[in-house]
Structure formats: C-alpha cells, structure tokens
Amino acid sequence: MGAWLFLALAWIEDVMVGAEISIASGVIFTTPYHSVAVAPFAGSGTYGVRLGAAW
C-alpha cells in the first residue's frame, strides 16, 4: 500500500510542476518584450538561438 501512495504523490507532484512550467512559459512567450531580440543561428555544424537584450 505504501508504494502505491508514494507513486500517487509523485504523479501529483509531476502534474503540478508541469502545470507551473506551462503557466510560466505561457507568460514569458506571450508577453511582448520590446528590448529583447531572439534570432536562430546555424553554421559549422552548430545550431542554436541567440538572445540579446538592451536596457
């Protein structure tokens, strides 16, 4: 019985953390930031995203 309770609590914790990440990413990625630039880059076998900010 103890193992099932542990698994249920772990599942609930995972769901709550997933919800928090979803809410945070929704706020971050839908709020306009006028002084932030995001640009993809690729070259020499590398790929990534370049972030820039100005105050």
- CA-to-CA distance for 8 and 54, rounded, in angstroms? 46
Q: What is the pLDDT of residue 1?
A: 59
Report yes or no: 49 and 40 within 8 Å, Cβ to Cβ: yes
- CA-to-CA distance for 28 and 18, rounded, in angstroms? 15
| pLDDT tens by residue, the chain, 55 residues | 567 777 788 888 888 999 999 999 888 888 787 888 889 999 888 999 999 988 7
Structure tokens at 2: 């103890």
